[in-house]
Amino acid sequence: MEHFTIATVAEQSADFRRVLWTGEHTQLVIMTIPPGGEIGEEVHDDTDQILTFVSGTGEAKVSGRTKAVAAGDLVVVPAGKKHNFVNTGPNPLVLYTVYGPPEHADGVVHKTKEEADEAEESGQDEPPK
């Protein structure tokens, strides 16, 4: 059994993306988006995503709709939907997300968005098969 005090774990990580746990059908990832930063517009064709915000403020952009997000909010992104999350506040936007099926390589840590983008472009961030 894996056990996380997820808000605490998320708050303690300054990494852009850190995979905490990967199972056969789902994956738990924490993210920290710096002030003025964003995840980047993307689509996961075959993966659903559920994001829960721990601290900070931002905007959720899903399928052409934009909503403000803050601590305690949860956003569901169905597979195939274009989405982006932008930090609009002065502090980091901290969240955890569950992907189903896994989206990233097991145990991967990307300290910055640039590092994450490079890994994705090079194929080094492939989920387990």
The full set of domain ranges for the chain reads 6-122
Euclidean distance between CA atoms 29 and 73, whole angstroms: 16
The predicted model scores a pTM of 0.90
Instruction: Answer whether residue 129 shows pLDDT above 80.
Output: no
Instruction: Answer whether residue 47 shows pLDDT above 80.
Output: yes
CATH class of the domain at 6-122:
mainly beta
Euclidean distance between CA atoms 37 and 92, whole angstroms: 9
Instruction: Answer whether residue 38 shows pLDDT above 90.
Output: yes
Q: What is the pLDDT of residues 63-121, one digit of tens each?
A: 999 999 999 999 999 999 999 999 999 999 999 999 999 999 899 899 998 999 898 88
Instruction: Answer whether residue 125 shows pLDDT above 80.
Output: no
Euclidean distance between CA atoms 14 and 41, whole angstroms: 21
Beta strands, E only, 23-103? 27-33, 48-55, 57-62, 65-70, 74-77, 83-87, 93-100
Residue 65: count of CB within 10 angstroms of its CB: 9
Q: What is the pLDDT of residues 95-110, one digit of tens each?
A: 999 999 999 989 989 9
